[in-house]
Amino acid sequence: MNNVLEARAGREGKKGDCSVHLVRTDSGGVSIEVASTAGDMFAENIRADAKRALDCLGIEHCRLAVDDAGALDYVIQARVEAAARRLWPVEGPGCLPVTRVEYGPPRRERLRRTRLYMPGNNPDLMRNGGLFGADCVILDLEDSVSPAEKDAARVLVRNTLLCVDYFGCERIVRINPLSTEYGEADLEMIVPCGVDTILIPKCESAGDVRGVEEIVSRIEKEHGIGHEVLLMPLIETARGVLGAFEVAGASERVVALCFGAEDFTADIGAERTREGTESFTARSLIVLGAKAAGIQAIDTVFSDIADEEGLVASTEEAMALGFEGKGVIHPAQIAPVHKVFTPSPERIEYAKKVVAAIEKARSEGSGVATIGSKMIDAPIEARARKILRLAEALGLLAGE
């Protein structure tokens, strides 16, 4: 029996959020008090949203106060549910909001030039996260959420997945490591609710990936989910770097290896620099591990959002090393990163020439072609076709 009598959830006075104060009572039914920055305009809506969550969780007696700063319905429900979960054990899925977005099964092959990180306990940032043109969004339950709010963020991220349209971005959730008390609970709540990909922090071995895979498979079976959720291990320790190939090949579900420089530099006892010399070898090893396993490699974030020049240099270096994308922490970083990962018209033209030459040679019964004095062989063709696939995905071949 839980002896806690009252609980709070939500961030007080933060735009787009609300804080709730829930008190257990034994009788007297449900009473809901509402205060809002929008005055009385949404008082009835807020009351109805809160009531829906309480009904859904089977709570018949309580006193609830909602202090609202412009929260949407699914946020209010998430905050009420989070507070309730701190007072009562909840059986079953909890209070799922009415789904208002459509999404298909996760797609293995896709562009992952940018993955926009958003803190999982901040509804205002997550609401508009799909508007900025990132290839992927990451709703983060790990480092950007304090231990005391892990449970509340989990409910909010679940509701966000069900209610916020990310317009075809890959919807990634970074869970907490399975070695913590949060990791498995994160998966239980997130996997059934339309997540595309799980970002697994601090991966060091195949076991780390397989542990997640087992739980994910079980949840998929239990919920009759007809598709396979994808996995994306995050390498951020010395051991992880040395185990990159093993991690990359640990599961069929793994689509990319990601690098996390902040934890890595701390792990090896170095300082993080603008140039990133301290992680050069690690990044190369991650690219090698990923490519050897036939998956994508994605570079770490560039953490100074005001330094666009540094961001571009860091992205150019990442591309030169073989990375396909980069993490971003602010929407302003998206356009510069995309620009670097977008093939120039000259490269596209050359790739077209290569493919045309090799096809012509093939039709004439030869396996080798030339452009000018340069021999065109299989790897050059493969690279050219990759550029053209990328160009097509980006709509750069339109009208042809």
Q: Does 69 bind another protein (CB under 8 A)?
A: yes
The token duo for 213 is 């895979």
The token duo for 282 is 């690690």
Instruction: Rule CB under 8 A: choose which of 45, 205, 284, 342 binds another protein.
Output: 45
Distance CA 25, CA 73 (A): 25
Q: Does 396 bind another protein (CB under 8 A)?
A: no
Distance CA 309, CA 340 (A): 12
Residue with Cβ nearer another protein (92 or 399):
399
Q: Does 73 bind another protein (CB under 8 A)?
A: yes
Read off the DSSP letter of residue 108: S
Instruction: Rule CB under 8 A: choose which of 98, 131, 266, 397 binds another protein.
Output: 131
Residue 9: φ, ψ to 5°: -155, 155
Binding mask 323-352 for another protein (x = CB under 8 A): -------xxx--------------------
Taking CB under 8 A as the binding criterion, the range among 128-136, 189-197, 212-220, 295-303 that sits at the site for another protein is 128-136
Q: Does 318 bind another protein (CB under 8 A)?
A: no
Q: Name the minimum Å distance from CB 391 to another protein.
A: 16
Handedness of CA 41, 44, 50, 53 (dihedral sign): negative
Distance CA 129, CA 114 (A): 12
Residue 358: φ, ψ to 5°: -70, -35
3-state SS class at 4: coil
Q: Name the minimum Å distance from CB 325 to another protein.
A: 19
Residue with Cβ nearer another protein (100 or 218):
100
Q: Does 249 bind another protein (CB under 8 A)?
A: no
Residue with Cβ nearer another protein (17 or 299):
17
Q: Do 120 and 332 form a contact (C-beta atoms < 8 A)?
A: no
Q: Which residues bind another protein (CB under 8 A)?
A: 15-16, 37-45, 68-73, 100, 128, 131-132, 330-332
